[in-house]
Chains A and B, each alone.
Chain A
Amino acid sequence: KQEVTQIPAALSVPEGENLVLNCSFTDSAIYNLQWFRQDPGKGLTSLLLIQSSQREQTSGRLNASLDKSSGRSTLYIAASQPGDSATYLCAVGEYGNKLVFGAGTILRVKS
């Protein structure tokens, strides 16, 4: 059974710092990996999708990498802002693209 782990569970940084969120998964037979953010009381907002054949994706200040063989992904956030404060969720897509989620990293960016 696929298990997804996110480290750290929580992170507090001053505004302007670059930061890395980590995600690991136990079964490398994945279709894709998707990073989401979730604001309190809200649904999930998709940030980046990496297909299993890809190594990384970039969107603005965000960069996500995927190393399928080692079962790892990282989300890099450059020049963090208070508006980046949210819970970040990593999810791996299995057959049919059923997503298996990690528990999330709660990020707080202090101004």
Chain B
Amino acid sequence: GAGVSQSPSNKVTEKGKDVELRCDPISGHTALYWYRQSLGQGLEFLIYFQGNSAPDKSGLPSDRFSAERTGGSVSTLTIQRTQQEDSAVYLCASSTGTVYEQYFGPGTRLTVT
């Protein structure tokens, strides 16, 4: 079946602009996670959604970052007023629940110039 998909695959933006990154999880997966991978910080957790519960935003690095999940499926990660340190690969993962295997998408490479 279809895996986790993310769009766009690459995004180049100017410093100060807002960007939106999209994640389509595997159908039926109730849990959805966002991570980012950067050279200096490795892979780090950003936010997760589980069903209709309030999201766990404990990993978001600043209030410029936000995410939503509509209809328990598609999720959008928004970064406002982008900074150069936001340049990274943003990865989305989904799972059937919060104790199960996570399946990752191919990521969105964000470059802030």
A residues bordering B, Cβ < 8 Å? Answer: 31-32, 34, 36, 42-46, 49, 51, 89, 91, 93, 96-104
| Residues of chain B within 8 A of A89, CB atoms compared | 43
Collect the chain B residues with CB atoms within 8 Å of residue A97's CB.
Answer: 31, 33, 48, 95, 98-100, 102
Number of B interface residues in the complex (CB < 8 A)? 26
User: Once the chains are docked, how many angstroms separate the CA of A101 from the CA of B46?
Assistant: 13
Establish whether residues B106 and A96, one from each chain, have CB atoms under 8 Å apart when the complex forms. Answer: no
Q: Are B43 and A101 in contact (CB under 8 A)?
A: yes
Main SS class of interface, B: strand
B65 on interface, CB distance cutoff 8 Å: no
Distance in angstroms between the alpha carbons of A31 and B93 in the assembled complex: 17
CA of A102 to CA of B42, assembled, Å: 8
B44 touches A42 (CB 8 A): no
Q: Which of B101, B103, B106 makes the CB contact (< 8 A) with A42? A: B106
B85 contacts the other chain (CB 8 A): no
Where the two chains meet, the residues of B that have a C-beta atom closer than 8 Å to any C-beta of A are 4, 31, 33, 35, 42-45, 48, 50, 56, 58-59, 91, 93, 95, 98-107
- Shortest C-beta distance, B40 to chain A (Å), equals 11
Contact B100 A49 (CB under 8 A): yes
Asked if A46 contacts B103 (CB within 8 A), the reply is yes
Alpha-carbon distance between A36 and B91 when the two chains are bound, in angstroms? 14
Question: With a CB–CB cut-off of 8 A, which chain A residues contact B48?
Answer: 96-98
- Say yes or no: B107 contacts A43, CB within 8 Å: yes
Nearest Cβ distance between residue A52 and chain B, in whole angstroms?
9
Closest chain B residue to A102, Cβ basis = B42
Residue numbers in A under 8 Å from B99 (CB-CB): 31-32, 51, 93, 97
How distant is B51 from chain A, measured CB to nearest CB, in Å?
12
Query: With A and B bound together, what is the CA distance between A97 and B50 in angstroms?
Result: 10
